[in-house]
Amino acid sequence: MNSFQYIEVSVRIEPFSEEMAEILTAELSSELPYDMFVTEEPYLKCYIETEKYKASDLKVVLSGYPAAVSFEAVPVQGRNWNKAWEDSFEPIVVDGTVTVKAKFNTGVPRTRYNIWIDPQMAFGTGYHHTTYMMMQRLLALPVRGSYVVDMGCGTAILAILAAKMGARKVFAVDIDAVAANSAWGNCRWNKVGTRVETACGDASLLQMGTYDILLANIHRNIILEDLPTYVRSLKRGGRLLVSGFYQADSPAIITAAEALGLTLAGSSSRETWACLEFVK
């Protein structure tokens, strides 16, 4: 990554809040090809390959957020990306049962399920609120012996947790090759590589089988587009957990899911983020 020329975009947030920084991170990572985000109050610093940067595209996304009062773009090269990620990462601890941490995190107590990750650049942990809720709901499901899919797996946190909970087989899929490779490495680092199969691709890969549990912590537009495929891939009685969107997006997703024969089995929220659970 250091061999590429990058653009550093500093988005000024007023009034600044961590919540708004997370919202903008979610929007920019799903709508535009930004690779890395670092919060340095009052700025959200975003990194993108020079040839992919278009100020007009950025303006369109930011226009929906009055708190993003301005931005400045400058070329950068040779940044220590892993160091930047380390400086901004904090461990995730879910209900005293699951801990997600990196090798540089110290003083983090062990829990029943411990997950170590190496992001290999920016495809890290997802957004803490959505990742937290997905893990929380997964912990309540009968995972042992089941077949699980982690769509948009990123570093495969959810896939690794499912495997550690006793899933018979986990299929971890991401459309980005770097993320899929990171997932592959993390699964082996966590000693679940024999039960987690990683692949680079989209939801069309799900046609290879049927599953008991399907996890999708992705942007709302992708969820809405791929819902029919998700439903076809679920066994009768199977569970679909979705997150990665705001509470305001929940009605549209619920309506679409119910039209496809799914039943809402539960919901949760943290800050402005939402998580929905459906049963087929």
Could you tell me if 145 and 270 lie in one domain? Answer: yes
The count of structural domains within the chain is: 2
Q: In this structure, what DSSP letter does residue 63 have? A: T
Could you tell me if 258 and 131 lie in one domain? Answer: yes
Could you tell me if 62 and 138 lie in one domain? Answer: no
Could you tell me if 69 and 162 lie in one domain? Answer: no
Cβ contact 244:275 at 8 Å: no
| Per-residue model confidence as pLDDT tens digits over 35-49 | 777 788 899 988 888
pLDDT at 78: 52
Could you tell me if 134 and 188 lie in one domain? Answer: yes
Domain boundary residue, one of 51, 84, 117 = 84
pLDDT at 126: 44
Does a structural domain hold residue 105? no
Cβ contact 257:240 at 8 Å: yes
Phi and psi angles of residue 257, each rounded to the nearest 5 degrees, phi first: -65, -45
What would the mean pLDDT of 233-261 be, rounded to a whole number?
Answer: 95
Does a structural domain hold residue 90? no
Could you tell me if 150 and 260 lie in one domain? Answer: yes
Q: Can you give the CATH number for the domain in which 57 is found?
A: 3.30.70.1510
Does a structural domain hold residue 113? no
Categorize the per-residue pLDDT at 245 as very low, low, confident or very high, splitting at 50, 70 and 90: confident
Does a structural domain hold residue 96? no
Could you tell me if 264 and 136 lie in one domain? Answer: yes
Could you tell me if 149 and 270 lie in one domain? Answer: yes
Domain boundary residue, one of 62, 84, 106 = 84
| Per-residue model confidence as pLDDT tens digits over 193-228 | 999 999 999 999 998 889 999 999 988 888 999 999
Q: Among candidates 26, 25, 50, 52, which has minimal Cα distance to 39?
A: 25
pLDDT at 84: 58
Does a structural domain hold residue 148? yes
pLDDT at 59: 95
pLDDT at 2: 40
| Per-residue model confidence as pLDDT tens digits over 164-195 | 999 999 999 998 787 788 889 999 999 999 99
Which residues are 47's β-sheet partners? 8, 36
What would the mean pLDDT of 144-169 be, rounded to a whole number?
Answer: 95
pLDDT at 79: 55
Q: Can you give the CATH number for the domain in which 136 is found?
A: 3.40.50.150
pLDDT at 83: 57
What would the mean pLDDT of 58-67 be, rounded to a whole number?
Answer: 93
Does a structural domain hold residue 152? yes
Which residues are 148's β-sheet partners? 170, 213
Does a structural domain hold residue 200? yes
Could you tell me if 20 and 141 lie in one domain? Answer: no
| Per-residue model confidence as pLDDT tens digits over 6-58 | 888 999 999 998 888 888 887 887 788 887 777 888 999 888 888 889 999 99
Does a structural domain hold residue 227? yes
Could you tell me if 136 and 79 lie in one domain? Answer: no
217/142 Cα distance (integer angstroms): 19
**Residue numbers of the domain that contains 80:** 6-84
* Residue 3 clears pLDDT 50, i.e. is over it: no
Q: Among candidates 153, 155, 166, which has minimal Cα distance to 112?
A: 166
More confident residue, 93 or 147: 147
Could you tell me if 10 and 73 lie in one domain? Answer: yes
| Per-residue model confidence as pLDDT tens digits over 77-127 | 655 555 555 556 678 889 999 998 877 777 778 899 999 887 554 444 445
